[in-house]
Structure 1
Amino acid sequence: MFRMTSELQAKRRLGLTATLVREDGLEEDVFSLIGPKKYDVPWKELESKSWIAEAKCKEIRVNMEDDLRLKYSIADDREKFRLASENPEKMKAIGLIMKKHSESHLLVIGQYINQLEEISKKFNIPLITGKTPLPERQTLYDAFRSGKIKSLVVSKVANFSIDLPDANIAIQ
């Protein structure tokens, strides 16, 4: 999409998005196509005006095994983020949250595909990534909306204009 957009000849370009997210992490590249961001609204302001649902965020801290903590202590920032994100202790936390909210519509959202695949297999939850064919994505989203499936594991691809109003728990 980026390449196609960069080849368009135009005097002006306008980019509109609710969530400027790319699976490859190159969000900043968008500005080379459309120029700097001109307008931004904090989500809390949108929430206070009832444009979006109220969100209650809770941070759950998990332990880190000694060998992983050692790797973490000497890693660069990018690797620290990955090690913390993929901490195996998070699987236990996900399991506990799923058990506590077994009747909820639950999304597990992540960045690292290997981790998402592991979560999907361990908890027998369908997975949607950028490689999931569009018809299959739509089928899974529809099944989630209708209640046929209660949980989905999704990569950043779910940030793109996806309306899942029945989701009431998100694990990120």
Structure 2
Amino acid sequence: MVTPTVLIVPGLGGSGPDHWQSLWLDENPAWRRVEQRDWDRPVASEWLAALDEAVALAPGPVVLVAHSLSCALVVRWAETSARAGRVTGALLVSPADVDSPDHTPEEARVFAPMPTLVLPFRTLVVASDDDPYVAPERAAGFAAAWGADLTLIPGAGHINADSGFGHWPLGQDLLRELMEDL
């Protein structure tokens, strides 16, 4: 079996150096990061093109690890890209509710409405019951619509550095389990 390329897909702000996504990349030099021109003012077409190019350049199958706004990016990309078949799995963490002005800033709504298609690859959504960017019921609804499994973590906030998540060993375990099942 060919080991998939892991693509880290940061959300709004780009997952700084203390974010688990950046820490995981530091520990796994074979993994790659999807880069965006502007992490603070997303343009949907640019973000979609950057993800599509990263998947195209990856050797072999791909596993996506997205956080926050980039969960919506991954789902929108899967809806529109001919390359979605190269992806074998996705870990979607803390999906930002791009439809909700009460939960997300205006710049996050570039991917609204949130797509609700069944994803063509195995997916695990990880959410918190107190995430300021998505209500737990909405996260559960997204997971159901996407045909994904859901792991709900109590009291985890936005599952980022500001919520106290550094290396996030549980996330690493969840990713490993997802990849073992592919």
Normalising by structure 1, what TM-score? 0.32
Normalising by structure 2, what TM-score? 0.31
State the structure with more CA Rg.
1
Using CA pairs below 8 Å that are at least 6 residues apart, which structure has the higher relative contact order? 1
